[in-house]
Structure 1
Amino acid sequence: MSAWTREAVEALGPTTNVPTVAAIFGVNPETVYAAIRRNEWTATRVLHLGRTIKLPTLDVIRLLYAPEAEVSAPVTAVPAPCHHAENMQVTDSKPHSQCGCSPAHSVPFQPLRRVT
């Protein structure tokens, strides 16, 4: 078992795969896959990208180095939850708490046309 340093984990990039996270935690990868399947994996967020499972390395760093969990460079593991340009059905009247957008930036909902 090799020792994983903080620098080595940061060098993995924004996300990594299950076998790598299992190696960092010193467990069998099948144990991690089974916990994810049973929705019992709480150590990190789980990103399902088709059939691929990715885990944010920032979550691993925060778990292992809790008091000093700030990463030297900002790492964005997942895109922001608000995508007004792609989602034409955003009509909230209040700003979103995480992205700070407001209805002035959103496009009004266009009802579907009935085909007769």
Structure 2
Amino acid sequence: MSKTYIPVALRRQVYERAKACCEYCLIPDVATFAPHEIDHIIAEKHSGRTEAENLALSCTLCNKHKGSDLASVDPETGKIVPLYHPRQDIWHEHFRLSGSEFVPLQQFSGN
């Protein structure tokens, strides 16, 4: 998690753009026990900047699970694939909701 100060106006902009929902799992802020956090999509340690296009509203669980990762290994193919990027990818093209489970669609575009 970043130690960089994020100005209040920028935090508000990210929160409003996300409509108060986690940009990774779409859970509303009001439905969680801990308030959503501002996440650097590309971590500062990977030269990610503290600007609106690189920030996402994230629930605590998604933020902790993603960490500073940029990619992961697909368990079926063994290929390195980029993680979902809320500024570049469209959620419904990567996941579907099945009951209370998020199911990946296995359409890794490589972008």
TM-score (norm: length of structure 1) = 0.26
Larger helix share, 1 or 2 = 1
Larger radius of gyration between Structure 1 and Structure 2: 1
Which of the pair is proportionally richer in strand? Answer: 2
TM norm structure 2:
0.27
